[in-house]
Amino acid sequence: MIGHPVQSIFPGTVVQVLADRYPYGNTILIETPLDGISADLINILVLPTPIPQENLDLVQPCISDPLFKDIPPLEMSDSSKSLYVLYAHLLEEPVLKIGEEVFCGQKIGFVGNTGNSAAEHLHLETRIGPSGAAFGSLAMYTPDATIEERYSYCIWTSSGRFQPFNPVTLWEQEP
């Protein structure tokens, strides 16, 4: 329902805020380092099997695309992993800023219909990837998207560095 409050599902740090960029619209991305999550919760999450480092170039179209040849690699740590939650299509531009800490259950926005959205809803993406990813802005391949935004979008969605996991597994467990 449009205007329904959206709450953070994990504590963490805001690492990205987008103001109506295609396809996500008004968006906030929150990072939670895995070393700050209890082992019990990590076991419940059923984390994806990482792609072996030697095979990453097979699944990273972003690295080999000539369009991105002059883009410096995104800053991130390969020595530690984090859980990332992206909340998209929010009603308004998020008021939180990059670097702000959020707690689990904190209101971070409202359900909206921004970006590439046909109806109001909360678009939620959950991924595990290298800690400290500095995406800057990201946008899909549209005429107004910069090369840097396209590169960030490619790294986030299809590089294999940020692997999706199913958050529903958290609620499937017996108490």
Please report the domains of the chain, with CATH numbers, ordered by start residue. 5-166 (2.70.70)
**pTM (2 d.p.):** 0.89
Q: Mean of the per-residue pLDDT values for the chain?
A: 86
pLDDT on residue 42: 78
Instruction: Using the predicted structure, report yes or no on whether residue 39 has a pLDDT greater than 80.
Output: yes
Q: How far apart are CA 88 and CA 20, in angstroms?
A: 9
101 vs 158, higher pLDDT: 101
Residue 122: pLDDT band with limits 50, 70, 90: very high
Distance CA 136, CA 155 (A): 12
Q: Are 76 and 133 in contact (CB under 8 A)?
A: yes
> What is the distance between the alpha carbons of residues 121 and 3, in angstroms, rounded to a whole number?
10
- Checking if the pLDDT of 95 tops 90, the result is yes
Q: What is the pLDDT of residues 48-68, one digit of tens each?
A: 666 665 655 555 566 677 778
CA atoms within 13 A on the CB side of 122: 19
Give the per-residue pLDDT at 131: 94
Supply the pLDDT for residue 46: 67
The closest alpha carbon to 153, from 8, 12, 24, belongs to 24
User: Residue 23's pLDDT is what?
Assistant: 95
Q: Does residue 61 come out as left (phi exceeding 0), alpha (psi in the -120 to 50 range) or beta?
A: alpha
